[in-house]
Structure 1
Amino acid sequence: MLNPQTEFFARIKSALPEYQNMAQSIAECLAISVNEAYKKIRGNSALNLQQIIKLANTFEVSFIYKPNQSPTVTFDYLSMNKESLSMLDYLKDLLKNIKQIQQSKQKHITITTDDIPLFHFFKYPELTCFKLFFWSDSVMNNEAKFDPSLFEEEIIDISKELNQIYLEIPCTEIWAKDTVHGTIEQIRYAFEAGYINATKAELITEQVRYCLTDMNMYAISSKKTIDPNHTFNWYNCDVLGSISYLVDFKETMLCFNRFNTFNYLKTEDQSYCEQTKSWMHSLIKKSVSFSGQGEKHRNKYLYNAFTECDNLIREINNS
């Protein structure tokens, strides 16, 4: 097991772009020689408190220390609410996190989810705006009508960039039995409650279909782009316990747990991440593969999802 200092440097390394020399960056940050920087990275020379603070602030990486036998886990908490954070701020923070992941030489994201991962939505502007609208307090509190034109252009631009970056990161997604159902029900509720008109409701439902068609293409080739390094593994597990994103940098890991719709808790606690990784691996063993040769099960899953979309469009047109 790594000690807190070497673990700290492992997280800094993961946060740096591939082209950036870590020892040189540490030396410049602490105003020490490169040789001394190597000693600190290897754990042969101890960091003092001021140096820890400076490194943490410079590279935006937490130093985590837990007393022996302590079961505590430290999380960073990003809360999305109208008093403290705008939707644009939320997406900018998400973009900062995913860019940091993309820049790492070794990376892989494993997701367990009962809702379509939001990065897939971000390819489609109206669907993106609808999900952000529904997730906000507007539907419940302000009697607002859905109008994509009210969303800032920067929100759409960042969303598209998030989608493009996500496509370039190797990943494994484990979907629940009813992962698509939640979004369909959100569209149905918004339409029946009068928050969205029939034309927009049908358009957004069609974009859900496009999103699922994308998933099918990724699964067939087991990659999300023409680059073979952008691997994609898709599984179905009937029962999932939580919505979690585990980022594996090989030398260190990072975990995001979603709650309250789209707020999240983020931790770099390696023991917690190891337990999460073990849990995800056990889920995969109980899951059905949709990637590559899993055509039969994938087609059945997508047929049911497309049927849900068709039924909703039929309801909208007959209303």
Structure 2
Amino acid sequence: MGLSIKSVPALPAQTAFFARLRGHLPAHLSLVDEVADVLQLSTDSTYRRLRGETALSLDEATRLAQHFQLPLTDLLTSPSESVTFQRMSINAQPGGISDYLRYTASYFGQAAAANAHISYAAKDIPAIYHFLFPELARFKVFFWLKTIKTVEAFSNLRYAAQHIPNEVIAAGAAAAEQYLRMPTVEIWNDETVNSTLRQIEYYHDAGLYEQPADVPRLLDTLEALVQHIQRQAIAGRTLRHNLEVAPYQLYFNEILLLDNTILTAAEGHDRVLVSYNGMDYLHTTDASFCTEVKQWMRVQTEKSTLISQVSEKERNRFFNKIYARIEEQRRKLRQGHRAP
């Protein structure tokens, strides 16, 4: 009588979990080696877990999830119906903005190291650009903390540049350095610059500047930022310290109100950031969600006009409308100063 050998049933949730881990791993690294290192296991023991022959303990699953920054809930949910997000948020403390910007720099640094491409549907001017212009960055950070996040330490303050520490601007500049390293597609529309213009005007009308002379300087700096974007569009490259860095495409969309969604796409390393609460983001590497957003971005570029390197007439028309709005704000400001 022969012996029958029962095969050990694989663990489907565990197998799926390791598949997700593999998707988070740069192509040049070995999943076996990484898991063995994290769990301090032999290669043979690691293979048994990867094949689903040995169940992961809760402690092992937790250690792997933390190391790969993959939520444990991915073990429990159906990827077709649910998406797991992590968040990047500004804590309601004055120092929270520095942590947020350092995290952002790390996020874009990892994406750049993975040779990612960025697609950005810009409802507002991409926040990263403000940090190329420190005076405007200080205003935007003050506005975010006082008016959006209502941080208590700012509640009785009016805007002045000295209220924002240099370390905040340095952290934002480091994030900008990483962002500009990557090939970038940005989709703008007629409203993209308007929120910053309205914020500058709102603080003026509400008497929230310590020095009224800051208002024309902020408008000048905003115009300089727009000129920077225009130079990028002409060159078809991102610019840092007047040096061309990475391929850049700018699209003008006439029909859609955009939503500040960001896609960083790399081989096996896609991630989507979705904005909420003004400056906070939810982000995910869920493959089906990333694929859906990638398709949406593709459709939006097809329905938009490329105004970088080509379409000089459309590009000039787009930027001239922005400059006209800035000049209109200057005119209103001058009229206000002449009022009795």
1:112 is displaced (CA, Å) by 0.5
Q: Distance in 1 between matches of 2:138 and 2:70?
A: 31
Counterpart CA distance in 1 for 2:227 and 2:98 is 28
1:284-299 superposed matches below 5 A: 284-299=301-316
Partner of 1:193: 206
Give the SS at the match of 2:274: strand
1:304-319 equivalences in 2 (<5 Å): 304-318=321-335, 319=337
Is 1:242 the counterpart of 2:263 in the alignment? no
Query: Which residue in the other structure is 2:229 paired with?
Result: 215
For the 8 Å contact 1:176–1:236, the answer to whether it is kept is: yes
Q: Provide the residue aligned with 1:75 in structure 2.
A: 85
Alignment of 1:143-182 (within 5 A): 143-182=156-195
Structure 2: 5+ residue stretches without partners: 1-14
Give distance in 1, aligned partners of 2:249 and 2:109: 21
Give the superposition deviation at 1:263: 1.3
Measured against aligned partners, the alpha-carbon deviations of 1:51-73 in whole angstroms (never above 9, x if no partner) come to: 33222222434352464585121
The structure having more radius of gyration, on CA atoms, is 2
Indicate the residue corresponding to 2:249 in structure 1. Answer: 233
Q: List runs of 5+ in structure 1 lacking aligned partners.
A: none
Are the structure 2 counterparts of residues 294 and 37 from structure 1 closer, same or farther at C-alpha, using a change threshold of 3 Å?
farther
Residue deviations 1:5-32 (CA, integer Å, cap 9, x gap): 2222221328xxx7x7765444322223
Task: Determine the structure 1 residue equivalent to 2:61.
Answer: 52
Quote the Cα distance in structure 2 between the aligned partners of 1:38 and 1:221.
Answer: 50
Which amino acid letter does the alignment assign opposite residue 56 of structure 2? N
Counterpart selection for 2:286 from 250, 269, 284: 269
Structure 1's 116 and 203: CA in aligned 2 closer, same or farther, altered over 3 A? same
Q: Is residue 174–residue 234 contact of structure 1 (8 Å, CA) maintained in 2?
A: yes
Partner AA of 1:72 in structure 2: S
TM-score by length of 1: 0.86
Contact 2:94 2:145 in 1 (8 A): no
| Conserved 8 A contact 1:114-1:178 | yes
1:115 aligns with 2:124: yes
The residue number in structure 1 matching 2:5 is: none
Shift of 1:294: 2.2
SS at match of 2:322: helix
Matched, 1:184 2:184: no
Deviations 1:241-265 (A, max 9, x none): 5220111112131111112211111
Distance across 2 between alignment mates of 1:232 and 1:45: 48
Identify which range, 238-247 or 291-300, moves more after superposition: 238-247
Partner Cα distance (2:170, 2:231) in 1: 24
Q: Alpha-carbon deviations, 1:117-168, whole Å to 9, x = none?
A: 0011111111111111112235878242101112112101111111111111
Q: What is the Cα deviation at residue 291 of structure 1?
A: 1.1
- Give the counterpart letter for 1:269 in structure 2: D
Residues paired across the two proteins, number: 312
Q: Is the 8 A contact 1:95 1:158 kept in 2?
A: yes
**Aligned counterparts, 1:17-28, within 5 A:** 24-28=33-37
Structure 1 pair 146–229 and aligned structure 2 pair: CA distance change class (3 A): closer
Match of 1:88 in 2: 98
Change (3 A) 1:143 1:36: same
TM-score, normalised to structure 2, is 0.82
Q: Contact 2:180 / 2:245 at 8 angstroms: preserved in 1?
A: no
> Could you tell me whether the CA contact under 8 Å between 1:198 and 1:316 is conserved in 2?
no
For residues 201-237 of structure 1, give each alpha carbon's deviation from its aligned partner in whole angstroms, at most 9, with x where no partner exists: 1111111111111111211121114887711111111
Shift of 1:47: 6.9
Q: What CA distance in whole angstroms lies between the structure 2 residues aligned with 1:220 and 1:110?
A: 18
Q: Give the 3-state SS of the residue equivalent to 2:301 in structure 1.
A: helix
CA spacing shift, 1:233–1:35, aligned 2, 3 Å: farther
Residue type matched to 1:151 in 2? I
- Greater shift after overlay, 244-253 or 71-80? 71-80
Structure 1 distance, partners of 2:100, 2:79, is 35
Paired residues of 2:26 and 2:269 also in contact (CA < 8 A): no
Q: CA deviation at 1:179?
A: 0.6
Letter in 1 for 2:284: T
Letter in 2 for 1:214: H
Between the aligned partners of 1:188 and 1:257, the Cα distance in structure 2 is 27
